[in-house]
């Protein structure tokens, strides 16, 4: 009986103990895989075929651009801004109309989101990545006509050539609004308008907080960069409209 009690006691002590571990120290070291002076032939041989494959895809010619599209040339609008807004309006509308049976009225992007020119000559996939290196996607926001006034006020206050399509503003020499036309019709304060923009701006980015108060948000799940690439694949020659979106009328 004594031995039995000892065995039971020993077993309870053995299985009742839990081993716990605590991290007391973490060590690491930096490996300079990008060090140009380091000789790493094995790493280079491993990466080389992937690099060549990616470069081949990025450098494949998709279209031709007859002129340089540059965001630095223009006060109220630029050729690349007009181009991007027109492409994003058209590309977004293809999805929006099929998915929701509605039409997009206008498109507004931000001047700072354009990160490179589209040079005269061959246009490649790399061109699209340089112009739009971010992962921004297109969304559509429903705004009342009264809220469109806030959008217009922001454009005038910023005095930046934000990419704009589907809307025409006529201002006097004091930059007071004389006319707001959307799809060639006067702004109706009681109507609902569908505005295509980026998810970044839709969340109030670049001080566009007027988007936060809305009548609805529709996620198109379509990256702006992919929209540009698809456009380049569809056309042989890139076309940038010179039709002004903001007109200063001194009279």
> Distance between alpha carbon 209 and the CA centroid of its chain, in Å?
17
List CB contacts of 8: < 8 A, sequence separation 6 or more.
none
Q: For residue 25, what pLDDT is reported? A: 84
Q: For residue 215, what pLDDT is reported? A: 96
Radius of gyration for the chain, computed over Cα atoms and rounded to the nearest angstrom:
28
Q: For residue 50, what pLDDT is reported? A: 67
Q: Average of pLDDT values for 134-151?
A: 96
Contact 131, 83 (CB under 8 A): no
Contact 149, 228 (CB under 8 A): no
Count of positions (residues) in the chain? 251
Options 3.40.50.720, 3.40.50.150, 3.90.780.10, 1.10.10.10; CATH for 58-248 is: 3.90.780.10
Asked whether the predicted pLDDT for residue 179 surpasses 90, the reply is yes
Cα gap 78→73, rounded to integer Å: 6
């Amino acid at each position: 009986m004594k031995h039995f009690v000892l065995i039971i006691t020993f077993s309870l002590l053995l299985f009742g103990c839990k081993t716990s571990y605590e991290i007391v120290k973490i060590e690491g070291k930096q490996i300079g895989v990008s060090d140009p002076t380091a000789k790493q032939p094995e790493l280079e041989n491993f990466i080389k075929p992937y690099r060549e494959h990616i470069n081949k895809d990025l450098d494949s010619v998709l279209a031709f651009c007859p002129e340089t599209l540059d965001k630095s040339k223009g006060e109220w609008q630029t050729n690349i801004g007009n181009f991007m807004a027109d492409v994003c309006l058209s590309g977004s509308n293809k999805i929006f109309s099929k998915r929701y049976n509605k039409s997009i009225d206008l498109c507004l992007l931000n001047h700072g989101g354009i990160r490179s020119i589209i040079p005269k000559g061959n246009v490649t996939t790399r061109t699209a990545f340089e112009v739009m290196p971010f992962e921004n996607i297109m969304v559509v926001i429903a705004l009342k006509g009264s809220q469109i006034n806030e959008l217009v006020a922001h454009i005038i206050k910023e005095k930046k050539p934000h990419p704009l399509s589907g809307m025409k503003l006529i201002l006097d020499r004091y930059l007071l609004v004389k006319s707001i036309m959307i799809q060639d019709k006067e702004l109706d304060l009681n109507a609902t308008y569908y505005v295509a923009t980026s998810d970044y701006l839709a969340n109030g980015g670049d001080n566009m907080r007027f988007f936060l108060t809305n009548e609805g948000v529709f996620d198109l799940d379509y990256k702006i960069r992919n929209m540009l690439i698809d456009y380049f694949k569809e056309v042989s020659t890139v076309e940038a409209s010179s039709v002004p979106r903001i007109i200063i009328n001194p009279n």
